[in-house]
Amino acid sequence: MDLLQSLSHSRSSNLLIILATETTKVVPLTCHGHSRPVTHLSFSSVVDDDQFYLISACKDNNPMLRDGLTGDWIGTFIGHKGAVWQARLSSDATLAATGSADFSAKVWDTHTGEALHTLQHNHIVRAVSFPNQPQPQILATGGAEKKLRIFDLSRSSTSSSPTNPTANGSSASTPPSFEIGQGVHGGTIKSIVWGNDLNIITTAAEDQKIRWWDLRTRTPIGEYTVDGKVGTCELDIAGTEGSAGSGVISVAAGKSVYFFDGAHPAQLIKSVKTTAEVASVALHSAARKFVTGGGGDTWVRVWDFDEEKELEMGKGHHGPIWSASFSPDGKLYATGSEDGTVKLWKFTTGPYGLWR
């Protein structure tokens, strides 16, 4: 679970002033562009030439793709007609998936910005997830329907339905799908996590249940009830990239954060109680630290995983922090806020990225 070697990246001198001491507490980079609250953000894995990417979902209907190291804007995916609640990238970053209040999930080509699939649902789509490998090409979705669906993107068929047109007016391709665990979820599915085992998937719902599912039998194989409203539920792999690590599933709920073994369904590693509502959490496995974002304040907090105490507090956002995620190399983390901004926070000593 060693960290990757420091990424090499040269940039011009449009740099922020940082503290002179060798500390992780520096001025964050602010990524503008969204006009409404940022609801979710997610990093890709490391792809070509030590590159990785960041995608953000927003209530302005327009998810954005950025350079994960610098936050530089790459492109905006145009086509949703409602707030986008979640956005993720495939393991090789060639595809993006978004879930929206317009009752659809979309799959995008990240190189061209084209919408490859529009997956119609009967209610708001809150969660999307790709497996952690490029093949097979499948996507999981969930939301206010309380249904976990699996779409096979490699077996698209042409639909003649007028309710699913493409931008140029032709009929859109509709991949086949099936439902997992019909009638089990008692509330909106807010997050879906695909671990390293392709056959196991995890859901977090508003009924305060974290559930693990076996896709072969389409039945639940584990369940855990959290104490409070579910915020984020993510697979954290910072510090495990390129190793045999299975990652940890981190859940924010109420005034607690929960950490589950990514290789063993429903196995709780530990839970940590905090003094305030937690809306988001992200773990750095190798550094034995985690960060949280509050639903009732504007501060980012860094915690010691073993001692369960707060180490640092980052100020800069002007609204609740709905999403937090570490980069795949573990040397920065990103936060998305109600204030409409994404911020990148340095999490290593020495020069890195735009911090020189």
The answer to whether position 356 is within a domain reads: no
**Section 199-206 average pLDDT:** 97
pLDDT tens digits, one per residue of 223-269: 999 999 999 999 987 654 433 446 899 999 999 999 999 999 999 99
Number of domains the chain is built from = 1
The answer to whether position 352 is within a domain reads: no
The answer to whether position 203 is within a domain reads: yes
Per-residue pLDDT at 71 exceeds 60: yes
The answer to whether position 231 is within a domain reads: yes
Pairwise pLDDT comparison (8 vs 313), residue with the higher score = 313
Name 121's Cβ contacts closer than 8 Å, sequence gap at least 6.
Answer: 103, 104, 105, 141, 143, 145, 149
Q: Does this model's pTM top 0.85?
A: yes
Pairwise pLDDT comparison (19 vs 275), residue with the higher score = 275
Strand 332-337 to 321-326 pairing:
antiparallel
Per-residue pLDDT at 92 exceeds 70: yes
What confidence category does residue 10 fall into, taking pLDDT thresholds of 50, 70 and 90? very low
The answer to whether position 353 is within a domain reads: no
Per-residue pLDDT at 12 exceeds 80: no
The answer to whether position 324 is within a domain reads: yes
**pLDDT at position 73:** 97
Best CA proximity match to 354, nearest among 31, 42, 57: 31
Range of the domain at 38: 29-346
**Section 193-216 average pLDDT:** 95
Mean pLDDT (the chain) is: 87
pLDDT tens digits, one per residue of 149-186: 999 998 865 443 333 444 433 335 689 999 999 999 99
Q: What is the CATH number of the domain that holds 163?
A: 2.130.10.10
Handedness of CA 8, 14, 17, 20 (dihedral sign): positive
Per-residue pLDDT at 16 exceeds 50: no
pLDDT tens digits, one per residue of 120-152: 999 999 999 999 888 889 999 999 999 999 999
The answer to whether position 136 is within a domain reads: yes
pLDDT tens digits, one per residue of 288-338: 999 999 988 899 999 999 999 999 999 999 999 999 999 999 999 999 999
The answer to whether position 10 is within a domain reads: no
| Main-chain dihedrals φ then ψ at residue 179, nearest 5 degrees | -100, 145
End-to-end alpha-carbon separation of the chain, Å?
Answer: 26
